[in-house]
C-alpha cells in the first residue's frame, strides 16, 4: 500500500483510486469514530463515507482536493472566505443533537441540550473537494457545549501557523470564523486554552501564544 498521508496519530494509505485505509498507530479501535461519521452523514454533515472498519483500520472514500490549510498556503488572500466556511461548517455541526452513546466533554449543564462537537476543527481537517468542503478526523469528537468547540478552534488558530501563513493572515481567517460560527467562544476560552496547553505535542512557541491569548480577546486584537 502507498502511504499518502501521516497525521498526528494515524497513517493514510491509498487502496485504489477511490478508497483509502486510515490506520491508527496506537492500535486504538476506529469503530466509534466510524459510527459517529455514519450518524453525521444521516444528518447531512459533509464527512467521508466509511466502507469498512476492523480494529484500528478504517476504509473510507478517497477525497480529492487540497486541505483548507494547503489552499491557504497557495492563496492566502482567501483567508477571510475560508474562515467563514470553517465557521459555517461548525455551526451546521452544532445543529446535530448528540447521540446518547457519544462521550461527554465540556457539558452544558442543561439536560438534552448537548450537541456534537468536533473538538479539533481547523483548516488541516477540512478537505476542499470538487463537491464542497469535507470535515475529517473525528476521533476527538464528543457531546457538549458548542461554545467549547468554537473556543478550541480559536485556541488552535491562535497557537499555530498554518501553511506558512503570516500571523496577520491567521487573524483574518479567525475573524471570518468568528463571524459565522454562530456561538460566542469567550465563556469557554479559558478551558479551551488549558486543554490545548495540556497537549504534549504542543511546541513552546505555540504554548506562549496561547498564554497570551488567555489575556486577550478571541480574535487576538
- Percentage, residues of the chain above pLDDT 90: 68
The 10s digit of each residue's pLDDT in 78-136 is 999 999 999 999 999 999 999 999 999 998 877 678 999 999 999 999 999 999 999 99
The 10s digit of each residue's pLDDT in 146-180 is 999 999 999 999 887 666 667 788 899 999 999 99
Tally of domains within the chain: 2
| pLDDT value for 167 | 75
b/e per residue 39-50 (b: at least 16 CB within 10 A): bbeeeebbbbeb
The 10s digit of each residue's pLDDT in 189-217 is 999 999 988 888 788 888 888 887 766 65
Would you tell me how many other CB atoms lie within 10 Å of the CB of residue 1? 11
Q: Look up the pTM and report it.
A: 0.90
- Computed over every residue of the chain, the mean pLDDT equals 90
| pLDDT value for 215 | 65
Q: Say if 218 falls within a structural domain.
A: no
Q: Say if 33 falls within a structural domain.
A: yes
Please say which residue of 61, 79, 111 terminates a domain: 61
Cα distance between residue 79 and residue 68, in whole Å: 10
Q: Is there a single domain that holds both residue 139 and residue 46? A: no
Full domain range(s) for residue 86 = 68-213
DSSP symbol at 214: T
119: left (phi over 0), alpha (psi -120 to 50) or beta: left
Cβ atoms of residues 71 and 82 within 8 Å:
yes
Q: Say if 220 falls within a structural domain.
A: no
> Longest C-alpha distance within the chain, in Å?
49
Q: Is there a single domain that holds both residue 47 and residue 148? A: no
Please say which residue of 35, 61, 87 terminates a domain: 61
The CA distances from residue 205 to 27, 160, 185, 201, 208, in Å, are: 30, 9, 23, 12, 5
Q: Name the one residue in this structure whose C-alpha cell is 487573524.
A: 171
The residue among 139, 153, 168 whose CA lies nearest residue 33 is 139
Q: Is there a single domain that holds both residue 76 and residue 136? A: yes
Question: How many residues would you count in the chain?
Answer: 221
**CATH number (domain holding residue 8):** 3.30.200.20
| pLDDT value for 206 | 83
Q: Name the one residue in this structure whose C-alpha cell is 469528537.
A: 141
Average pLDDT over residues 45-51: 96
Cα distance between residue 58 and residue 53, in whole Å: 5
Q: Name the one residue in this structure whose C-alpha cell is 497537549.
A: 199
| pLDDT value for 212 | 79
**CATH number (domain holding residue 151):** 1.10.510.10
Average pLDDT over residues 59-63: 95
Cα distance between residue 10 and residue 105, in whole Å: 23
Cα distance between residue 171 and residue 219, in whole Å: 7
Amino acid at each position: 500500500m502507498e502511504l499518502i498521508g501521516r497525521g498526528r496519530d494515524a497513517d493514510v494509505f491509498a487502496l485504489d483510486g477511490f478508497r483509502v485505509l486510515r490506520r491508527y498507530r496506537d492500535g486504538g479501535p476506529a469503530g466509534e469514530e466510524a459510527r459517529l461519521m455514519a450518524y453525521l452523514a444521516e444528518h447531512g454533515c459533509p464527512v467521508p463515507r466509511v466502507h469498512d472498519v476492523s480494529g484500528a483500520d478504517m476504509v473510507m472514500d478517497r477525497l480529492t482536493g487540497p486541505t483548507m490549510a494547503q489552499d491557504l498556503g497557495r492563496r492566502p488572500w482567501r483567508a477571510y472566505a475560508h474562515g467563514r466556511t470553517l465557521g459555517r461548517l461548525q455551526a451546521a455541526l452544532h445543529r446535530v443533537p448528540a447521540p446518547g452513546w457519544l462521550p461527554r466533554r465540556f457539558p452544558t449543564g442543561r439536560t438534552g441540550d448537548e450537541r456534537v462537537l468536533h473538538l479539533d476543527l481547523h483548516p488541516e481537517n477540512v478537505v476542499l473537494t470538487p463537491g464542497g468542503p469535507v470535515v475529517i478526523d473525528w476521533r476527538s469528537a464528543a457531546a457538549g457545549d458548542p461554545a467549547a468547540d468554537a473556543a478550541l478552534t480559536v485556541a488552535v488558530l491562535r497557537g499555530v501557523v498554518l501553511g506558512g501563513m503570516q500571523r496577520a493572515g491567521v487573524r483574518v481567517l479567525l475573524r471570518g470564523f468568528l463571524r459565522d460560527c454562530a456561538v460566542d467562544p469567550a465563556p469557554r476560552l479559558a478551558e479551551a486554552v488549558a486543554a490545548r496547553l495540556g497537549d504534549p505535542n504542543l511546541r513552546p512557541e505555540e504554548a506562549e501564544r496561547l498564554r497570551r491569548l488567555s489575556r486577550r480577546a478571541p480574535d487576538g486584537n
